[in-house]
Chains A and B, each alone.
Chain A
Amino acid sequence: RKEVEQDPGPFNVPEGATVAFNCTYSNSASQSFFWYRQDCRKEPKLLMSVYSSGNEDGRFTAQLNRASQYISLLIRDSKLSDSATYLCVVNIPDFSGGYNKLIFGAGTRLAVHP
């Protein structure tokens, strides 16, 4: 089983639509969660961190459910420019080395059309 699982999509939605992505993670010791955005043939860029209480940044809302080990990203009023791959990212504590590594999901592709 993968440590971070996402629906690969693609999600094809019209402009203005609301779309939600889900992600599950397997390591219950994970403490930090992120959504990254990756455009085709570009590097990933941090979209937002995900906090326990849920957080919102403009049209984007992230939620965390620790009991179910589940993270979501909601995009409202989709724009053409939102078309990208959205990566769910979870930290995995490495207590032996004192290092926290990030595990990247394979990503969910979003295509917003006119």
Chain B
Amino acid sequence: EADIYQTPRYLVIGTGKKITLECSQTMGHDKMYWYQQDPGMELHLIHYSYGVNSTEKGDLSSESTVSRIRTEHFPLTLESARPSHTSQYLCASSGLDREPAYEQYFGPGTRLTVT
């Protein structure tokens, strides 16, 4: 069982608020990811990190930002939440890139609703 945690699990917040979604893993994985998933739809990569002080934007444009100051921690921040940000946010991590294993392990997700 993967050890990756996300808080909060559920968040309802008003428009314009700043929010930070927390993600942490205890597996020592160097790579971490944030995905966004709407109900019944596919996952979309919004951010990823190779390691400390490394962050990149994913395939889906997002107004969120991320930081990676510690290996185990990869928080996502929305400076000003809008209703269009309502979605589920899933954090994942993976270890070394060695053939054939690039498995990613997911946290339980944060379900965000912006009113």
Contacts and interface: CB of A to CB of B under 8 A. Distances in A.
A32 B103 CA distance: 9
Interface stretch (B13-21, B41-49, B65-73, B74-82): B41-49
Contact of A43 (B42, B50, B108): B108
Contacts of A32: 99-102
Contacts of B99: 31-32
Interface string B84-106: 00001010000001011111111
Interface string A72-114: 0000000000000001000100000101111011110000000
Contacts, number: 50
Contact of A49 (B35, B103, B106, B107): B103
A17 interface: no
Contact residues of B: prevailing secondary structure: loop
B37 to A, nearest CB: 9
Contact of B97 (A41, A43, A100): A100
A1 interface: no
Contact of A102 (B88, B100, B102, B109): B102
A59 interface: no
A106 B99 CA distance: 25
Interface in A28-58: 31-32, 34, 41-46, 49, 51
Given A44-B43, A105-B42, A106-B42, A100 B107 contact: no
Contacts of A100: 97, 102
A43 B111 CA distance: 11
Contacts of B90: 43-44
Given A32-B99, A105-B42, A97 B56 contact: yes
